[in-house]
């Protein structure tokens, strides 16, 4: 294992320290327990948004803390859910008197620990609502999940719900919008190779020289099949067809399209993948209303890509376009 780290057990702490030094205009980083808040809190009387999960998926979640998105993010150890204590502290920091929405990726540890934190917050008279993101169409009941996993579509929930909270919507309304985004979003990814968790010191799984994993999870969980390496066009077509079919997209509809890198794929290859995705959508008569290409929800240095489509309407696009000021989305 070759990584630019000092101590494999201090990766998250030193990442946070560097993040704080690099972005003092946007975030405040708190330690023991560890969580990140926006530098300029939103106005009193507005709903707060908190998300979090295991580290290793950067820029998710701390990179999306700021005006128009999250009020706080809670990083756990690499690929490990944060405990209830930092989630509670982040919830208290995000509370501006109108309640707090927890946006939780569907992994068993995340769901349980955010649920416990919500119960503790309720004891401190903070009203908490929760939306569980489960946009991955690849598999049901994976290694760490009951039901479908939460993957790259999480950023659409954070962005659109964050915009609704920023404009002053009620907790009930922000929760409705976040739920709508989740309901209208699907994703699927593939891996060309594994990643290595620093404290494990070895690859999370093995793939042959010419082998790929379709439907990979963002922690290296198994997908639905392994196969031989194919062209970018062929692989994107398989991701697209499963996402499109599950979402039930038909001719004349609009989507927000995301081609997301898993951490180890060159941006040039992501653009080749987006080229393929755009052609497939055009062939099916589906309009790309907005598009994003880049590394937003990663798996350390895993080479791979995921495709996310969100069915778009005027309500969601207005919020998608609302002002935002975070490290990873501006």
Contact 62, 86 (CB under 8 A): no
Q: Residue 306's beta-bridge partner residues?
A: 189, 260
| Maximum distance among all Cα pairs of the chain, rounded to whole angstroms | 56
Angstrom distance (rounded) from CA 51 to CA 87: 8
Q: Which of 23, 61, 102, 219 is catalytic?
A: 219
Determine the length of the chain.
330
What span, in angstroms and rounded, lies between the C-alpha atoms of 322 and 147?
32
SS3 assignment for 124-171 = CCCCEEEEEECCECCCCCCCCCCCCCCCCCHHHHHHHHHHHHHCCCCH
Residues with Cβ within 8 Å of residue 241, at least 6 apart in sequence: none
Residue 57 designated active-site: yes
The CA distance from 289 to 132, in Å, is 25
Active site (annotated) includes residue 30: no
The catalytically annotated residue of 23, 30, 57, 61 is: 57
Measuring CA to CA, which residue among 73, 99, 84 is closest to residue 15?
Answer: 73
The catalytic residue positions are: 57, 219
């Amino acid at each position: 294992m070759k990584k630019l780290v000092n101590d494999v057990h201090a990766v998250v702490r030193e990442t946070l320290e560097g993040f704080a030094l690099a972005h003092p205009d946007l975030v405040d980083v708190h330690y023991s327990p560890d969580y990140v808040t926006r530098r300029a809190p939103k106005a009193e009387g507005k709903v707060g948004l908190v998300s979090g999960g295991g580290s290793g998926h950067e820029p998710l979640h701390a990179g999306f803390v700021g005006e128009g998105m999250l009020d706080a993010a809670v990083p756990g150890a690499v690929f490990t859910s944060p405990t209830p204590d930092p989630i509670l502290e982040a919830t208290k920091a995000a509370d501006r008197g109108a309640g707090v929405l927890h946006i939780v990726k569907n992994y068993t540890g995340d769901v349980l620990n955010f649920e416990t934190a919500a119960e503790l917050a309720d004891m401190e008279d903070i009203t908490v609502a929760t939306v569980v993101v489960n946009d991955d169409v690849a598999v049901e009941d994976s290694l760490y999940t009951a039901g479908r996993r939460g993957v790259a579509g999480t950023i659409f929930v954070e962005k659109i719900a964050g915009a609704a909270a920023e404009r002053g919507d009620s907790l009930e309304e922000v929760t409705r919008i976040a739920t709508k985004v989740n309901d209208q979003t699907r994703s699927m990814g593939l891996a060309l190779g594994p990643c290595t968790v620093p404290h494990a010191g070895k690859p999370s799984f093995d793939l042959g020289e010419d082998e790929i994993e379709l439907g990979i999870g963002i922690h290296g969980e198994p997908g639905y099949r392994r196969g031989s390496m194919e062209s970018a066009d062929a692989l994107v077509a398989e991701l697209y067809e499963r996402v499109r079919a599950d979402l039930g997209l038909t001719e004349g509809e609009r989507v927000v399209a995301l081609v997301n890198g898993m951490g180890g794929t060159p941006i040039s290859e992501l653009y080749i993948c987006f080229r393929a995705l755009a052609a497939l959508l055009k062939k099916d008569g589906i309009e790309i209303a907005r598009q994003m290409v880049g590394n937003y929800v990663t798996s350390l240095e895993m080479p791979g890509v995921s495709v996310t489509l969100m069915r778009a309407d005027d309500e969601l696009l207005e919020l998608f376009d609302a002002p935002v000021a975070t490290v990873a989305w501006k």
